[in-house]
Amino acid sequence: QSALTQPASVSGSPGQSITISCTGTSSDVGGYNYVSWYQQYPGETPKLMIYDVTNRPSGVSNRFSGSKSGNTASLTISGLQAEDEADYYCSSYTSDTTLDVVFGGGTKLTVL
């Protein structure tokens, strides 16, 4: 099963900004503006943080932002806080007929 490519881990100090990349293909990330990002704490359910590349659901801090260039989407977290330490997964609609949705491998964010 194809998957989007994310870095395994990123880290930053409180107050800094970090960016997590998510690389796919023209059949998914590059072909559609349907990239979403989910935050997951250990043992908990994923939480939607960004949808349709750049949109934030109600209640999500404006420290979280999304963007896309070509086949790579990015999640940026500014003003890092300890509570941001979690796993982050990107997801995209895909035109691959064997799938409907494809996820990234996940990125562990450590706040130093």
Partner 1 sequence: QVQLVQSGAEVTKPGASVKVSCKASGYTFTNHAIHWVRQAPGQRLEWMGWINVGNGNTKYSQKLQGRVTITRDTSASTAYMELSSLRSEDTAVYYCARRFVRHFDYWGQGTLVTVSS
Residues near partner 1 (CB under 8 A) are: 1, 3, 32, 34, 36, 38, 45-48, 51-52, 57, 89, 91, 93, 98-106
CB of 97 to partner 1, least distance (A): 8
Is the CB of 10 or the CB of 99 nearer to partner 1?
99
Is the CB of 13 or the CB of 98 nearer to partner 1?
98
Three-state SS across 12-77? ECCCCCEEEEEECCCCCCCCCCCEEEEEECCCCCCEEEEECCCECCCCCCCCEEEEEECCEEEEEE
CB of 103 to partner 1, least distance (A): 4
